[in-house]
Every structure is written in C-alpha cells, then in structure tokens.
Structure 1
Amino acid sequence: MIRSGGRALVHRVGRRVVALVRRARRIHPLAFFALLSCSLVVAAASASWPMHVPASALVIPLLLGGLVLGFRQLVVLTLLTLMIASFVLVSRDQPTPTTGFVLVLGVVGWIVIAGAKVRNQLGVPGTRGESMLMELRDTLTAQGELPPLPGSWRAEVAIRSAGRSKFSGDFVVSTTRDHMLEVALVDVSGKGVDAGTRALLLSGAFGGLLGVVPVEEFLPSANRYLRRQDWEDDFATVVHLAIDLRTGDFAVRTAGHPPAIQFDAWSGRWQTRDADGPLLGLMEAPEFEPNHGVLKPGDALFLYSDGMVETPLRDIGRGTDRLAGHAERLVGQGFEGGADVLVKAAGGPGDDSAIVIVHRLGHG
C-alpha cells in the first residue's frame, strides 16, 4: 500500500511539473522573469550563506531556461547569470576561484544556447521540437492500429524498428468500408530513424488514399504521389490486401514486396500469394496484377516486410519457409497473439520488421 501510494504521489508531481513546463512555453516573458528572479534569489542566498548555498546552484536556472525559453531570452538570461555569478564571487570575503567558476558556468550556458539555436531554426522553443516528434510518432502508431472487425474475424499487427528506436521505416494503414477491409503494409527505403521522416509523410498520404480511391487504384495513386516527391534514390514497397468480410474473397497486390502467405485450415498447407509488381516511385505508370483467393473459416493470411524473411545470409525464399515454420506452431492457439511472437522470433535485428495477420475464425 505504501509503495502504490508513493508511486501515485510521484505520478501526480510529475504531471504537475509537465503542466508547468507547458504553461511556461506559452508565456516566454513570464518564464524569463521567473528564472531571472530565481537567479537573483540563489545569488543573494549564496552571498549570505556561502557555506549552505553554493554559487554553482546558478546552473539550475540556466538548465531550466534551455527547456522553456526561446533563443534570445536564453542568451540574455545566460549573460545576466554570468554577471550575477561574477558579482557574488567577487563580493565574498573569502578567496574563491572566480575565473574557473565563471568559465565553467559560461561553458554550460554555451552548451544550452547551442541546443536552443538548433531548435530556434525550426521555430520551436524549448523542448517543443521533441514533443512534436513524439506526437508524430504516436500518430504513426495510432494509424497502424487495425479497425474493429466482426466477431468471426481477428486481425493483429506488430512492428519492430531496427535498433529498438521508436521510429520505423515499416508502417501499416488500414480501413473498413462497405464490409470491405483494406490493409496496406509499407516498407520505406532505409531503416529506423533514417526512414522515420519519410514513413511519417507517406503514412498520412497513404492513409488518406486508402478507402477513398477504388481498390485497384490504390497502388497506382500511391505511386503517383511518391513520384511527385522527387526523391532521388528513395522508394517504397507495399503489399495491399482487400478482403470482403462477408464472403472471405480477397485480392492481394504487391509493389516490390514479399508475397503474402495463406494458411489453409482444411488441408493444413501454406501457400504464397505472389502478385508481382514494381517498386513504388521508380516507374511512371506501372501495372499491379491482383492475386485472388478466398479465406475460409479457420484460414489465415500473413502480410510481412522483408525484415521478417531476408538477411544478408538468407534469401527471401528460405526466410518465407522459416516464417511459415514459426507460424505453424501457432495454429493450435488460433494465431492469437501471433504477430508479436513472430516479430520476436523471425524479425531480423538489423532491419525493421512488421507483420499483419488476418484470421477468419473457425466458429462463425
């Protein structure tokens, strides 16, 4: 009980601190004068009680200023803090290392200002830039969530970024309309943080196209959008699934992507659904031929990125067989929780990995 109460107290304090920092970002002049007043109070306390309040405490307002102030206010605060520190040390009766302390304080101020200058180029003060990236990451994660399906269907998705970073070059967009489920698994060239910005851009664009354009026009429309970006050597691969949730009829289209895998519950066999198509962004008007099939009760369909099946020492064909072998062990549990299991078991550590499982349950 004591531990849970302590954690709740820490969480409440943390939320209030975050709220104060956000308010300070909105009203920079008030934050500037508050931090300047804090510096004056620390300086006065250090001058009056040098044994109890060290002058090095003046570093605290500088560090806080780096979190909440704009570039200009931070420069002014740093200069004033250096002046205040010099005055405090010179006015003491006891000899103190004035030059060394002011130099160290100046170096700390320069480091804080250098970070603020980079953020100032983006037009976002304090840590707002990092907050924006976190919001974009959360947006990408939210767009990857699959929509709710009827009771006779289950769908799961799992994505793991290379290097355990929070940004990935693999992402998923999906939607449902008129009893039709559409899912697109996209793999942007590059991996991890390097591909994260392009993945954020394309996830919004592809998510807007999905469910709006006809099924057969999704990949051509995505290709035209990607070519308009005029990226030099960047491209994307996509596997696009459209499935009728009433009948189980589906069509798979790929653009330079590994084929989907279908599990047939009646025969216990695994079948690849090849639908060759060129990479997105390389050709002006490519054609994407569909591969049609039916998911019967108990059947499952797997969409995955090349990070799940390809490594420098293993080609896609062998990797696909290995993935199917791992998935075979999940048949008994109806593939529930299988996406996370397969990403951990088959995903390559040096590349982004993603998988989508669409399972038509055996009980209608």
Structure 2
Amino acid sequence: MSNACQYEGCTVGETGRCALENDPETCANRTAVRGDGDDATASPDGSESGIGAPVLTTPEELPSFPPSSTLKPEVIEAMMAGRYVTVVGILGDPEAGKTACLASLYLLLSHALLGRWSFADSRSLMAFEEISRGARRWNEGQTPDEMTVHTEMADERQPGFLHLRLRRAEDGKCFDLALPDLPGEWTKTLIRSSRTDRLEFVRSADVVWLVADGRILSNRELRQGAITRLGQLAGRLRSLMNGQSPKLLLVVTHRDLVEVSDAVLTRIQAEFGKHGLEAEVIPIAPFSDDAKIAPGFGLSNLISSTLERTVDRPDFWPQSPNSSRERSFLSYRRNS
C-alpha cells in the first residue's frame, strides 16, 4: 500500500499509475495529496499545520541544576585558577564518622543552622544529596542504625571532592572549600603500606582533619590501638608532606555519647610530638542521641578553625638591650 493510496499493492504514489486503472485524481481509494504550496493549512487557533508537521510542539524545558557528583581533582585545579580554594585533607579509620561529618555539615547549611556561616554556592549539590539521603530515611519515626552509607569511590585511583562556598556573617566574605569524601580503607592502606599515590592532593592541602571515633578513644580496651594508629598516621603524613608541618585538626566524633578525657588527648598529642606535629582538638557530634547535645555540635567551630588561620608575625621593631659601651652607628662600616 502506497502512502498516497489505501488499496493494497497500489504504487500510485511512486509510479503515478493506479492499480485499478482508475483516474488517480478521482479514485475513491486515493488519499488526499496536496501540492507544495498547499501543505500548510490554517488551524483554528490561527497557526499553520499540515501533513508532516509535528503533532505536538516541543514543551519548553524549565532550567534545572546541572548534573553533578563528586568533583575530580582537575575540576578543583581549574577552580583554583580563578579564586582561592581551601583544600582540606580528611583522613581516618573506617566508621570514624568522616562522611557523617560532611552530611551533617550540608544539612545544617541547608537549614541555616551553622552559626556564623551560611551557604553561598556549591558545585556538588547532588553529591551532598547522595551522602545525606540516609539521614532522611527513617522507619516509622525510628532513627536508622547508620545515618550514612559506606563511601565507595567510582574511581579507586583518585579522590572525589565536594565543594562548598560559605559566607561569613560578620563581613559577608566568602570562602571556598574542597572537601574529599574518602573511604577509610585509604587511610588504613596509608598506615600499613605507605601507599600515597591516591593521596597526592594532601601535599597541597591547607588543613588536614584527622577524624577519630570518640567511642573507641573512651574504651579502655580499644583506645591504645587507636592512639598508636593515630601516631603512625601522623608519621606517614609528615613523610607525605616532605617533612613540612601542616595544620592538623584532631576531630573527635560522637561527642553526644562520650567525652574523651584530657589524659587520652595528652597521650595522642605525645604521639604527634614524636613526629614534630601538634593538633588542635575539636569534639563534634554530627548526629546526636542526647537531647542535651544538639545535632551538628562543634561543626561551626571546625569550619572556623579550618578557614580562619592566625599567623604569628615578628615584631616590626624589636626592643634590644641598651649598651653604653657600644656605639653602633659610629662603628658602621668602619672596618670595611
């Protein structure tokens, strides 16, 4: 059947001859064929339509967020070419609370609850949504066993970064943060075999978070092993940084359940001191099981310590002891 005739086997549309030997212009089986000038006819609404025209017009697409997940190091490098970006290294054992810290940080920002810091922009909103999704799925009002899922990398050879742009309330100044979401196995491999190829970005990190589980540090049977691993991690980190001393923040999680004693923290600082390092201790509680401790406890302090760095500057005109026996000005270049 031709596209110009309803009779089976007729090829009048291609040959111009009717299979029933009828006049093609008057044959009852012939479908209407319009010339090139008659293709378009006026529709009731005034627009032109005809054979071959689309049945429905293409709907206008609303603007949407671009698809994004964790960012590759190349994207962070391109971003750093335009403005300063604070790169953070986040290391710690599995289940220490690294991803929970990032998820809680995002949820606090989304509700404007991060103290003096507010949300300004992000290049990885979908990635934040993925890691915080578990905190929103509750079973009949019951808290889930784990607020976040275990981190799995799409590419096991390079890290994935999360981007945040924060605005400080006092002066409106904006700060860019590049936060890696790394599995704890990378830290274990660094300690055991000193594998550093996936952690090369730490060399250029402004701040390094060493995340430790406060429950383990408060357990008399388990804390010695955790303290030893933190010391070994500090040594590996010092070697990775070619002997330089990065700014270290010891992030102790689960403050809602336990409070690590000063004696344990002193032992950890002693382990760091063996490698010429020292760390500022910041307890946090990304999620809370204690009504007295608000969810996200300590995260505002963590961001402030990360972004606001004090620099020790020497005295512009130091005081020197006065000596009446020496007349330095008269002796200047006298023996030259």
- Normalised to the residue count of structure 2, the TM-score between the two structures is 0.29
Task: Kindly name which structure, 1 or 2, has the bigger radius of gyration based on alpha carbons.
Answer: 2
Bigger proportion of residues as helix: 1
Superposition TM-score, scaled by structure 1 size = 0.27
